[in-house]
Chain A
Amino acid sequence: MAPEQIIATLKTLVDDGKVLTDPSDLDTYGKDWTKIYPPKPIAIVFPKTTEQVQALVRFANEQHIGLVPSGGRTGLSAGAVATNGEIVVAFDYMNQVLDFSASDRTVVCQAGVITEQLQNFAEEQGLYYPVDFASAGSSQLGGNLSTNAGGIKVIRYGMSRDWVLGLKVVTGKGDILELNKGLEKNNTGYDLRHLFIGAEGTLGFITEATMKLCRKPDNLTVLVLGLADLTNTMDVLQAFQKKLDLTAYEFFSHQAMGHVLAHGHVQAPFETETPFYALLEFEAVSDQVMDDAMALFEQCVENGWVLDGVISQSETQAHNLWQLRERISESIAPRTPYKNDISVVVSKVPDFLREIDAVVNQHYPDFEIIWFGHIGDGNLHLNILKPEDMPKEEFFGQCEQVNKWVFEIVQRHQGSVSAEHGVGLVKKDYLQYTRSPAEIAYLRAIKAAFDPNNIMNPGKVIDPA
């Protein structure tokens, strides 16, 4: 079919005005946050119903055209990227909260519901949706589930996966499936729901999700501590976890904070300069908890792990302290960072950090390295900043050479080359550091079962057998 014919047909499959082909729209909707790969989609379509999505899938199968699911396009792995004449299927108009049950504490959302919209909806019901991260104001539930997004509350509340009780999907074959139907307990064979979560749109489309909500945490209080040394992050974590249930444990380097402060509107926590900082959050439900936190702080100071610290005295201060962590990505974005999102089990973090530190110092002596991450989950975001005068290609070329060293350490510690951002195009070549050849063969078999014609997000995560 000629491109004009394809576009003409697409217009019959979705509502009026819901097919865009303007070059600026193709550019905007053809890429995610990575902005590395030049976008080249043929058209952008905005379905409004699951049936329209199904019609698009059937059409793509007939014509053997690739479909790229697109959510809030905040993904960091080049999953929602169309470089090869695909049709981008964007969920911006499937953004309704469809149903809420107070007694089940569940909410049914269309895939295009913005993460923050779900958080706010929960709050209006006196409940809480705990998955949260800096891009929550733009990312969509469909994107969150397709990347199994983690974020800043994983230490207490788990990943996006843990909050899904049901999914409505359209498979790459064009079938509409209702998976798990909101049930808390349902042991009836393979749980297909969990295959779609984290699939990055390679098996089919998520069009609706039934999400679980929970009790709103009480009086969330934030501590920011100045650490004497990188490995003290784990000493402090262990000390606090013995007494308190943390709702977050993040760390970042002095350089990371420097970028946030230079970006503006955020205040340093204290004057003492320390090489690393930890941000802890917990529910300060009683004076006892506060006294415990104070005593733990004193103990950390006595052990020489912590040099200074502050505690939020209000929600406003808690919010402001979080900005020190939440704004890192945004503040370094102008420097075209090369992002690593790696993880190991928590007990291996100290050795892991030491080895990574040695390798990056040896191989990146001239690059500025920014350390931060959800270190309480064993997850490190290691960002390498591009020198202002170096061309992008040369910079990414050099980073890719060092990747081998970094990923070998990850592999040796049985860690992950992508803890929460997914694989997409960016980490596809490194999958074998985390997944065995036998495992990858099973992944391909699953892909073939749901998407035999390879129309769903072709080229992402794995290539078909």
Chain B
Amino acid sequence: MKVLVAVKRVIDYNVKVRVKPDNSGVDLANVKMAMNPFCEIAVEEAVRLKEKGVATEIVVVSIGPKACQEQIRTALALGADRGIHIETDAEVQSLEAAKLLKAVVDKEEPKLVILGKQSIDTDNNQTGQMLAALAGMGQGTFASEVVVDGDKVNVTREVDGGLMTVALNLPAVVTTDLRLNEPRYASLPNIMKAKKKPLDTTTPADLGVDVAVRLTTLKVEAPATRQAGIKVADVAELVDKLKNEAKVI
């Protein structure tokens, strides 16, 4: 079974982002970039499926500038077999990403597509769902467990108040939630081996997809800074403040 995994290059989760002075976006200059954490989970899940003998080939795809190849190489070091880089310096929004991935799905015909539920830079939570719709596949989003069973995949989803399990016919789209697995580190021997794994480059034009931006960002602002706390002398003052200032009781 062939598995396609999409990975996105984003600002490292650990970096404190700064808003550009003109409020047009966040400052990306000299900022450490890394694989989106949910995409790491997607790669890990695919590798585990391969280790179980369920998946036979893992193809990893990333959309973005040349530097995305770093994240593809990381996925290859983690256990993916080959990479596809859709190179573009343009901003790619969810629908365009989904269309590009649909074009790759048409070519590669994977049985399972695994994506992160969202990327931590734009937090849209749309690409997986849009891809499923465009490709006419079933979708299992927010997965906390993925079990392939013959020509079906059972996906346990984290929903409000509990877990829901959906059974999807393959091919299907799965998006990963945080608790699906704990991704491993790329070992140095595997990083070296990954350098020799195939990585093909293509472009949106090659795939016949127009990536023109449909949404414009008006303004990006830093969250309001939290006001400093105050100390109260006793319970009476606390109750008074909660009643009359905070008006919560």
Contact = CB atoms under 8 A, between A and B. Distances in A.
B44 to A, nearest CB: 11
B187 A310 contact: yes
Contacts, number: 58
Given A313-B74, A315-B12, A315-B32, A294 B189 contact: no
Given A219-B32, A267-B182, A314 B13 contact: yes
B14 interface: yes
Contact of A309 (B12, B34, B184, B187): B187
Interface of A: 219, 223-224, 267, 269-270, 294, 297-298, 301, 308-319, 321
B26 interface: no
B188 A316 contact: no
B238 interface: no
A224 B12 CA distance: 20
Given A297-B188, A315-B34, 6 more contacts: A224-B185, A270-B185, A309-B187, A310-B186, A313-B35, A313-B186
A301 B192 CA distance: 13
B155 to A, nearest CB: 24
13 contacts: A224-B185, A267-B185, A270-B184, A310-B187, A310-B188, A311-B186, A313-B185, A314-B13, A314-B14, A315-B15, A316-B12, A316-B14, A319-B14
A310 B185 contact: yes
A316 B192 contact: no
Interface in B176-235: 182, 184-189, 191-192
10 tightest CB-CB pairs across the interface, nearest first? A314-B34, A315-B14, A310-B185, A309-B188, A315-B12, A316-B14, A316-B13, A314-B12, A297-B188, A313-B74
B228 to A, nearest CB: 14
B179 to A, nearest CB: 14
B164 to A, nearest CB: 28
B42 to A, nearest CB: 15
Contact of B188 (A311, A314, A317, A318): A311
Contacts of A297: 188
A269 B34 CA distance: 18
Contacts of B14: 314-316, 318-319
B18 to A, nearest CB: 11
A321 B15 CA distance: 16
B116 interface: no
Interface string B108-152: 000000000000000000000000000000000000000000000
Nearest to B73: A313
A313 B187 contact: no
B83 interface: no
A319 B15 CA distance: 11
B37 interface: yes
A344 to B, nearest CB: 30
Nearest to A221: B32
A312 B34 CA distance: 10
B185 A316 contact: no
A351 B185 CA distance: 34
A313 B77 CA distance: 11
Contacts of A223: 188
Interface in B36-84: 37, 74
A352 B213 CA distance: 65
A267 to B, nearest CB: 6
A317 B192 contact: no
Q: Which of B14, B15, B187 has the most CB of A within 10 A?
A: B187
B75 to A, nearest CB: 10
Interface in B145-180: none
Contact of B37 (A219, A270, A316, A321): A316
Contacts of B12: 314-316
Nearest to A320: B185
A116 to B, nearest CB: 14
Given A294-B192, A298-B192, A319-B14, A314 B35 contact: yes
Contacts of B74: 313
Contacts of A311: 185-186, 188, 191
A297 B182 CA distance: 26
A294 B191 contact: yes
Nearest to A315: B14
Nearest to B34: A314
Contacts of B191: 294, 311
Most B-side CB within 10 Å, residue of A297, A310, A314, A319: A314
Contact of A294 (B15, B37, B188): B188
A151 B20 CA distance: 35
A309 B189 CA distance: 7
